[in-house]
Structure 1
């Protein structure tokens, strides 16, 4: 049996392509156009996994054969056993990532669906900070920053969805060799106020990983 290899953001992307194909199947009458949509979806899904095995490519490629209404949900359900969960962490491990926050309140980690998580994110109302935990290059890392609710909806820099956001600001540890010890660089990004919803939409981790690298200097 193929080992789990589909991360949450991959699955979100595959689901989007499946929904797009289902809509096209119901509305497009031109057979050639529909065929192009089918194989376009297959190519985009398989391209997510540059090192996919032949069995993994075969599993993912089933998307191009979906036709009946029930096929689309069955396809997504068939992928469930191959979802790679977020690395489970303990409260002690999380607190160790933020040593300066002695009274850090960590969310209940036992109720989290780790298969539906790309990053762990929560707001500490007492300090008005957003905390993010993410496995970068095989190592669990944590970042924190001020969390200021935006007056109107905007685009989230992580999931690119439009909705309720807040301005996340943090000080970057990245600096060039010749800068003054007093130099600091503030980084600001609009991020979803609801990390759960953000995790449901995120389809690419490049922006998230870049943010973590900029803040931690990793």
Structure 2
């Protein structure tokens, strides 16, 4: 049985390396350049993992050996079977994370593509509230805040892709329960697109953890 070892953001990164390789194959004929690019994408795919077995490393290095789009797609389809899905969570667990949201509208959990989810997020259009649930060190973090559409495109803080942005403002307790401050960032308005684009969780975790301190 295959043991999952690839997280969604890592798969997205590998997919971008595959796209880079494909574009190079279509536009470059110099064998030395192609050899360099192959080495680079193979090395990059391996470097985003802290620990790998020899079999896992060999599997990732296979990325650099493919030459045609259907071969790369078949390879990526194979890698999807190694994806670590988002941890199982119930509506009741989500509601406990947001005790002040009395009329919390929980998303349809059965319709979510958990394999391609780094962080669970949904927007309550009626209240302009964005809710985020993120698994961290064996527990779930629940963060909510107001999101205001900017009606313009820019780079999302979480996925670093050029997308329609919203201004996400989260209230935080500064030094006491009665003393509040807030932090805010520009993030994607499209929940699915952000999860399908994120390749690094550093900024996501930094922002989320800063709101719960």
Partner residue, 1:72: 72
Moved over 6 A (4+): none
What is the 5 A alignment of 1:41-60?
41-60=41-60
Count residues in correspondence.
Answer: 213
* TM-score in terms of structure 1 length: 0.93
5 Å-filtered alignment, 1:79-158, equals 79-158=79-158
Which residue does 1:30 correspond to in 2? 30
Unmatched runs of 5 consecutive residues or more in structure 1: none
Give the equivalent residue in structure 1 for 2:194: 198
Cα distance in structure 1, aligned partners of 2:72 and 2:156: 28
- Separation in 1 of the partners of 2:130 and 2:68? 43
Match of 2:151, SS?
Answer: coil
Query: CA separation in 1, counterparts of 2:63 and 2:102?
Result: 49
Deviation at 1:180, TM superposition (A): 6.8
Asked if structure 2 preserves the Cα contact closer than 8 Å seen for 1:42 and 1:64, the reply is yes
Describe the superposition over 1:145-202 as per-residue Cα deviations: whole angstroms up to 9, x where unpaired: 11111132121100111121110001234x5xxx576543311101111111111111
SS of aligned partner of 1:159:
coil
Residue 127 of structure 1 and its aligned partner are, at CA, apart by 1.9
Structure 1 residues 105 and 181: alpha-carbon distance in aligned structure 2, compared to 1, 3 A threshold: closer
Greater strand content: 2
**Distance in 2 (alpha carbons) for counterparts of 1:190 and 1:17:** 26
Distance change in 2, residues 1:128/1:36 (3 Å): same
Cα deviation, residue 78, structure 1: 1.2
The alpha-carbon deviation at position 125 of structure 1 amounts to 1.8
Structure 1 residue 189 corresponds to structure 2 residue 185 = yes
Q: Tell me which of 206, 210, 215 is aligned to 2:211.
A: 215
SS at match of 2:99: coil
